Structure 1
Amino acid sequence: MINGIKTLKFGVEDREKCQNFATDFGLEEVSSDIEGTTKFSMDNGSAIYVYDKDDTRLPPAFEDGSTLREVTWAVDDQESFDTLKDRLQGVDGYKVDTDILYCRDPNGLTLSFEISVMQTSLDQASAGINQYGSINRINEASPVYEKAAPLGIGHVVLFSPNLVAAQTFYEDKLGFYLSDAYNNRGAFLRCSAEGWHHNLFLLKLPHKDTPGLNHVAFIVRDIHEVIGGGLHMNRKKWDSFIGPGRHPVSSAYFWYVHSPFGGAFEYYTNDDYLTPEWQARHYDYSLDLFTEWAVEGGIDDTTRRQINNM
């Protein structure tokens, strides 16, 4: 019914700083079809719009400062769109505007829905990985990236104080599937029965009782691009706080960078691909579930060593 994230709209305090950050991060600025905004587009068809924080065209913010203001989810077809129209009647913020459907989730974040199919087959495949018993690259070296060029928006992570209500909404109203969970702490949700590990992660923290944006994750080709992107952001003096590393839950390689958009931006790749046969796992949260390994502070682009240990 839903096949991915189509667009994100941000309201920010410093649009020029966000523009510089996004460009260094590897996003391509394009001519915006919304006057007074900055737009970045990616190969799979997803896009980011950057508004001034006080722009009255934006929906209300669910936290103070620069932050995410709207997520647009891509809907498969008219039948799916009509199903959502029926399911979401009575939900806070419900509105139908021609071919766009709106509501707010239990966190207070505005969601919209449009008929669109995000690209999944891209002519951007990485060189194969050679492993014991599985040779996928012959007479070809692995790539080295000077910087990253993300292919699309992969997932969004939200602080959700009422985790049960938020998870129930996304599963029951929007048809999302639970991939894995931290007991009373977090839910990894994918928007379709078959697909990548998660498009949304709802996170409940003991010390945070307000909703907000934790981070947005961007798909890159392979671990080499994760590293190339992170090194470039360090070279540009942005605040790289953890990465590269690997998540045991989802299997993804990652690198996180603080952003002026309000939450962190993440490069990631190699997450698990699931089908309806997958059975969600339930864990008590522990640090080793978040990272099998990780470099705190990132890697210095000059020494190629951990920044905090230089």
Structure 2
Amino acid sequence: MSITGIEKLEFGVEDLPTCEKFMQDFGLQPMLQHWGEPRREFTTLSGASVVLHPKNSEVLPAAFEAGSTLRRMTWGVDSPAALAALQPRLEKMPGFRQVGEELECCDPNGMTLRFGVTALREVELPVTPINQWGDVRRIDQPSPVYAKAEPVNIGHVVFFVEDLAATEKFYCEHLGFQVSDRYIDRAVFLRTQVRGGHHNLFLLKLPNRPRGLNHVAFTVRDIHEVIGGGIAMNKENWSTFIGPGRHPISSAYFWYVNSPTGGAFEYYTNDDYLTENWQPRELEHSLVSFTEWAVEGGIDHDTRRQHKKTGAA
């Protein structure tokens, strides 16, 4: 299928100034704003964007959960012909409409989706190699230390879902997503193309948890930028949900920061790259299968030790 990845995420938020500060502290770059325009837009190095709207903005679709949250996500496709070919698949979906040169509908979980020809740009960055036993690649060169992160792209989004089977069917049968791995009767990891990173979308069903946003994940250069970004957010007094750590299911290193937009924002790197030769695994959902290791509360900027909760001994 021709869907390339996430182009844009639009949030409806209750506290626009606080969310604006969070985005800049997180390392996203502010776009030029027009005088009097209530929305705020921020971008990654690739051009993928996060847009903040007031919660009651008339330009937003209905929310799928209460409070500040994601209201619409835009997926890119690789050509106008691919977008035209996608239209018959979407026309029977709830909420279908054509908005300029883009298509819009709702998925079975109540999230509003848009589809348009991708405008993302290729990003070439110097990435310092690592040294491993028998594979020495960094010579006469230290590993980097990052003062803060500068996200390269929006890598994936994670939703709580109420009907896992119906939502998975929509993305796989109508949009051509590929199953990467699965937690039996609990969750599925999906990628947009046969060849690509471990997942662009993760659907998670938990007992007594209604639909909603879990987190949004941003790719960074390497594990050092994951660490630098998380510590910088700690310095700005944004609380860590969990991290740093590593997911064995995708091999990715992560750091999750609680976001005033709803859910969490994640820095991550080193996820598995899959091809047509990959065989999806069916695993029991457990602490061990989801997290190899993780630091609760993050790392304190001043002490460079695990951040202690207020009142902890």
Q: TM-score, with normalisation over the residues of structure 1? A: 0.96
Structure 2 match to 1:279: 279
Q: Distance in 2 between matches of 1:30 and 1:185?
A: 38
After superposing on structure 2, the runs of 4+ consecutive aligned residues of structure 1 that deviate more than 6 Å are none
Measured at CA, do residues 201 and 70 of structure 1 come closer, stay the same or move farther in structure 2, by a change above 3 Å? same
- How do residues 98-109 of structure 1 correspond to structure 2 at under 5 angstroms? 98-109=100-111
Measured at CA, do residues 118 and 203 of structure 1 come closer, stay the same or move farther in structure 2, by a change above 3 Å? same
- How do residues 66-85 of structure 1 correspond to structure 2 at under 5 angstroms? 66-85=68-87
- How do residues 118-137 of structure 1 correspond to structure 2 at under 5 angstroms? 118-119=120-121, 121-137=122-138
CA RMSD of aligned residues (A): 1.4
> Is residue 144 of structure 2 the alignment partner of residue 143 of structure 1?
yes
Structure 2 match to 1:247: 247
Gaps of 5+ in 1: none
- How do residues 121-270 of structure 1 correspond to structure 2 at under 5 angstroms? 121-208=122-209, 210-270=210-270
Deviations 1:219-258 (A, max 9, x none): 1100001000111111111111211000000100000010
Structure 1 match to 2:61: 59
Q: Distance in 2 between matches of 1:98 and 1:50?
A: 21
**Partner SS for 2:295:** strand
**Partner SS for 1:307:** coil
Structure 1 match to 2:43: 41
- Report if aligned partners of 1:39, 1:49 keep a CA contact under 8 Å in 2: yes
Q: Distance in 1 between matches of 2:72 and 2:120?
A: 18
Q: Distance in 2 between matches of 1:272 and 1:125?
A: 20
Structure 1 match to 2:305: 305
Count residues in correspondence: 308
Q: Which moved more, 1:174-183 or 1:29-38?
A: 29-38
Deviations 1:144-179 (A, max 9, x none): 001111111110000111000000000001110000
Structure 2 match to 1:111: 113
Deviations 1:171-205 (A, max 9, x none): 00111000011011111100111111101000101
- Report if aligned partners of 1:4, 1:118 keep a CA contact under 8 Å in 2: no
Q: Percent identity?
A: 53
Q: Distance in 1 between matches of 2:246 and 2:74?
A: 28
Q: Which moved more, 1:126-135 or 1:67-76?
A: 126-135
Q: TM-score, with normalisation over the residues of structure 2? A: 0.96
Q: Which moved more, 1:141-150 or 1:26-35?
A: 26-35
Q: Which moved more, 1:123-132 or 1:266-275?
A: 123-132
- Report if aligned partners of 1:3, 1:117 keep a CA contact under 8 Å in 2: no
Structure 2 match to 1:293: 293
Counterpart of 1:48, as a letter, is V
Deviation of residue 133 (structure 1)?
1.6
- Report if aligned partners of 1:3, 1:118 keep a CA contact under 8 Å in 2: no
